[in-house]
Amino acid sequence: MIPRMTTTLYGISNCDTVKKARAWLASHGVEHQFHDFRKEGVPQPQLDEWLRDFGWEKVVNRQGTTWRKLDAAQQAGVRDDASARRFVLAHPSAIKRPVVEWAGGHRTIGFDPAAWALAAGQ
């Protein structure tokens, strides 16, 4: 993986967890860009990397509202990287948030202040 020069936080602007994450980055002096899935779409090359790095079970937020609104057959249809990829491209709010690509090249998914401190070099 090539180290990134800028930290990028991916998520949805009105998500409470994303709001906490953005506040954490600001309070720890971590300059970052924000990529809103709803406004800018899901970046497919990054999605492929997230699926490879984390696995579809972690990328798809099966605790969220979007997932819970699906019927059992739709949920059963998401069973591997390919089906998860199609699903989250159609339903970006089903991606576990936030996904962060840190300036040093490390990636995290979800908000974990302790892991983030390590990733941010603090």
Catalytic residue numbers read 15
Looking only at the bridges linking them, the beta strands covering 99-101 and 32-36 are unpaired
Contact 5, 103 (CB under 8 A): yes
Point out which residues pair with 107 in neighbouring strands.
101
Give the single-character DSSP code of 41. Answer: -
